């Protein structure tokens, strides 16, 4: 009997059947061999096989469910537009399948069959299989005109059209008056789902006293001086202004290429106003000119009026100054008659002009507009008394301005070389007549002539900030790997090349005037060739 070894007994060759293995184990017993290793092996294999089989069963179940989903017949989402109980239960539905009257599956809860509910239609489009939502979802917003006889249909005005729509059960019993906003589907179900609340003051994007200050800006000393003088005089010396018959200047237009600090300047004006008033507070309302027009088409005038009402109320009743800032004001301030489609842009502009007419009568209210296309603004918008009280062009930074901006950002960072050396290298690449970016693109005009776009034409405060940020990221990545030498000339050069190429690739015949102001006004650009 061998008990000293723990090795597994070796099976004789060519054992294939269960009986042969049983006979072999019997032989081991007769010979007195230790069977413990064999038992251990068999038990291990048994439980490993059981676990593997369980995984296979789970995988098969997942595959079965997946195959069932893939093979499931198609279903069509619809909205219930009517429910009929005679001669038998059926519903009218609308959706991608058109408008149909279909039967209802016996398992569908009868209580869920409501006008406006959403469900699924069978593959044959002849039976409502399920109702999965009874909420209020709509694609369009219009204004309520009147309820039609019977109370199940109403008239809604949308984009100057009167549309008759059904009333979903979620809206039945809701009191409506002319001018209320209605959420409805113009296509498909043609149902009105709910009354939409007018935008409240909390949706008007007020910000209390921005922290921005003029000394954070570089290269805009002259422009800052104009803004300071205009704002400070009226607030510091109101008696002198009244004595000399000087009207308050409350409309400001900031114009210039994108990325050069127009938004920052507006926020700085709000900070300056806060510093000059006894309460030390000034609310800042930032509005993207395109947001009202695109999101509230048909109600844009109401949104504009609501904004000005809120600003006037805060400035007069609460005695808190307000700076309203309209970015991209050309989106709602284009010259009248320039849109050959609907008359909506002209109506929105007329509303804006009417609201601006009253700003000089409201102490503490300043309205600032910003654009990079002052040439397309309506003359009535930019006259004195509206946004023409103060017109400030924010140009692309010149060599001195770009140097001031770069120094401001670089001085905050660990540097591999002297800051003036790094700034000099960058300025040489951007502004030298034979610099790396002396020519970045070429604009073809309609008469066939061409104008070279230089790197200096594309320089902006935002671009320089991005260049320094990208260079800092490169230096930080090296520092994380043990090479903490700071931002180098190579980092800045690489980052500048990346940013300039990105800017050049954005240029098109449609937007080139926003970047290059020296293009002749009487010849339209028709093409841009990128040279870097």
In angstroms, how far is CA 10 from the centroid of its own chain?
72
Which residues have CB under 8 Å from 222's CB, separation 6+?
Answer: none
* Strand ordering across the sheet containing 441-445: 450-453, 441-445, 525-530
CATH of 202-393, one of 3.40.50.11540, 3.40.720.10, 3.40.50.300, 3.30.420.40: 3.40.50.300
- pLDDT band, residue 270 (cuts 50/70/90): very high
Distances (CA, A) of 181 to 120, 152, 155, 291: 29, 18, 12, 18
Which residues have CB under 8 Å from 344's CB, separation 6+?
Answer: 159, 160, 293, 297, 298, 300
**Could you tell me which residues are beta bridge partners of residue 154?**
147, 165
* Strand ordering across the sheet containing 390-393: 206-208, 283-288, 322-327, 365-371, 251-255, 390-393
Query: Which helix (H) or strand (E) is 57 found in, with range?
Result: helix 36-71
Q: Which of 479, 474, 467, 458 is nearest to 531 (CA)?
A: 458
Query: Which top CATH class is 76-133?
Result: mainly beta
Q: Which of 273, 259, 300, 260 is nearest to 367 (CA)?
A: 273
39 CB neighbour count, 10 Å cutoff: 11
- pLDDT band, residue 6 (cuts 50/70/90): very low
- pLDDT band, residue 8 (cuts 50/70/90): low
Q: How many secondary structure helices (H) and strands (E) does the chain include?
A: 13, 19
Query: Which helix (H) or strand (E) is 195 found in, with range?
Result: strand 191-196
The mean pLDDT of the chain is 85
What would the two tokens of residue 514 be?
Answer: 């926003």
CATH architecture of the domain formed by 399-530: Orthogonal Bundle (1.10)
Residues 58-112 pLDDT 10s: 889 888 888 877 777 888 999 999 999 988 999 999 988 889 999 999 999 999 9
Backbone angles phi, psi at 255, to 5 degrees: -130, 140
Residues 356-395 pLDDT 10s: 887 777 888 999 999 988 888 999 999 988 898 899 998 8
Distances (CA, A) of 379 to 308, 357, 374, 513: 21, 14, 10, 19
- pLDDT band, residue 347 (cuts 50/70/90): confident
Q: Are strands 322-327 and 365-371 parallel, antiparallel or unpaired?
A: parallel
Higher-pLDDT residue of 209 and 420 is: 420
Residues 161-215 pLDDT 10s: 789 999 998 888 888 888 888 889 888 888 999 888 765 554 555 678 888 888 8
- pTM for the model: 0.60
Cα–Cα distance, 289 to 373 (Å, whole number): 13
Report yes or no: 90 and 104 within 8 Å, Cβ to Cβ: yes
Find the distance separating the first CA and the last CA of the chain, reported in whole Å: 89
CATH of 140-197, one of 2.40.50.140, 3.30.1490.20, 3.40.30.10, 1.20.1440.60: 2.40.50.140
Cα–Cα distance, 292 to 298 (Å, whole number): 10
Q: Is the pLDDT of residue 244 over 50?
A: yes
DSSP code at position 448: S
**447-467 exposure pattern, b = at least 16 Cβ within 10 A, e = fewer:** eeeebebbbbbbbbbbbbbbb
Q: Is the peptide bond before 41 cis (omega within 30 degrees of 0)?
A: no
Q: Which of 375, 307, 360, 333 is nearest to 524 (CA)?
A: 375
**492-505 exposure pattern, b = at least 16 Cβ within 10 A, e = fewer:** bbebbeebbeebbe
The mean-pLDDT minimum among 31-35, 80-84, 145-149 falls in: 31-35
% of the chain surpassing 70 pLDDT: 91
Cα–Cα distance, 196 to 183 (Å, whole number): 6
């Amino acid at each position: 009997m061998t008990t000293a070894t723990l090795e597994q007994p070796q099976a004789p060759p060519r054992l294939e059947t269960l009986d042969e293995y049983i006979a072999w184990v019997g032989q081991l017993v007769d010979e007195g061999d230790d069977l413990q290793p064999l038992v251990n092996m068999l038990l291990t294999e048994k439980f490993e096989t059981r676990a593997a089989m369980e995984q296979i069963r789970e995988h098969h179940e997942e595959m079965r469910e997946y195959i069932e989903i893939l093979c499931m017949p198609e279903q069509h989402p619809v909205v219930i537009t009517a429910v009929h109980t005679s001669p038998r239960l059926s519903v009218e539905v609308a959706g991608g399948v058109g408008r149909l009257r279909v039967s209802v599956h016996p398992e569908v809860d009868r209580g869920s069959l409501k006008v406006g509910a959403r469900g699924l239609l069978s593959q044959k489009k002849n039976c409502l299989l399920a109702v999965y939502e009874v909420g209020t979802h709509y694609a369009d917003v219009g204004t309520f005109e009147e309820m039609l006889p019977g109370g199940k249909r109403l008239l809604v005005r949308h984009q100057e059209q009167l549309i008759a729509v059904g009333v979903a059960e979620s809206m039945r019993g809701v009191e409506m008056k002319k001018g209320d906003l209605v959420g409805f589907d113009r296509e498909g179900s043609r149902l009105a789902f709910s009354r939409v609340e007018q935008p409240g003051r909390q949706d008007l994007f007020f910000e209390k006293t921005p922290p921005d200050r003029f000394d954070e800006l570089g290269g805009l000393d002259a422009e800052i001086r104009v803004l300071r003088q205009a704002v400070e005089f009226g607030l510091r010396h109101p008696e002198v202004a009244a004595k000399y018959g000087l009207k308050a200047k409350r409309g400001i237009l900031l114009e210039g290429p994108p990325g050069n600090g127009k938004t920052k300047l507006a926020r700085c004006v709000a900070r300056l106003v806060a510093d000059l008033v006894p309460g030390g507070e000034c609310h800042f309302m930032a509005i993207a000119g395109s947001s009202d027009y695109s999101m509230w088409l048909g109600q844009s005038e109401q949104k504009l009026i609501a904004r000005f009402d809120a600003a006037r109320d805060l400035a007069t009743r609460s005695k808190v100054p307000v700076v309203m800032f309209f970015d991209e004001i050309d989106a709602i301030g284009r010259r009248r008659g320039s849109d050959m489609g609907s008359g909506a842009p002209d109506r929105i502009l007329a509303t804006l002009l009417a609201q601006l007419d009253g700003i000089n009568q409201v102490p503490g209210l300043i309205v600032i507009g910003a654009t990079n296309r002052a040439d397309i603004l309506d003359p009535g918008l930019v006259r004195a008394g509206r946004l023409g009280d103060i017109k400030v062009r924010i140009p692309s930074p010149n060599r001195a301005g770009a140097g001031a901006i770069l120094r401001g950002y670089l001085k905050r960072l660990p540097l591999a070389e002297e800051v003036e050396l790094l700034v000099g290298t960058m300025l040489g690449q951007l502004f030298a007549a034979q610099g790396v970016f002396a020519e970045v693109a070429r604009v073809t005009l309609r008469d066939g002539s061409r104008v070279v776009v230089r790197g200096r034409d594309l320089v902006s405060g935002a671009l320089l900030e991005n260049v320094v940020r990208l260079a800092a990221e490169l230096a930080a990545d090296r520092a994380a790997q043990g090479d903490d030498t700071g931002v180098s000339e190579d980092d800045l050069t690489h980052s500048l090349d990346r940013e300039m190429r990105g800017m050049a690739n954005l240029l098109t015949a449609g937007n080139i005037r926003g970047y290059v102001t020296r293009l002749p006004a009487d010849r339209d650009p028709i093409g841009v060739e990128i040279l870097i």
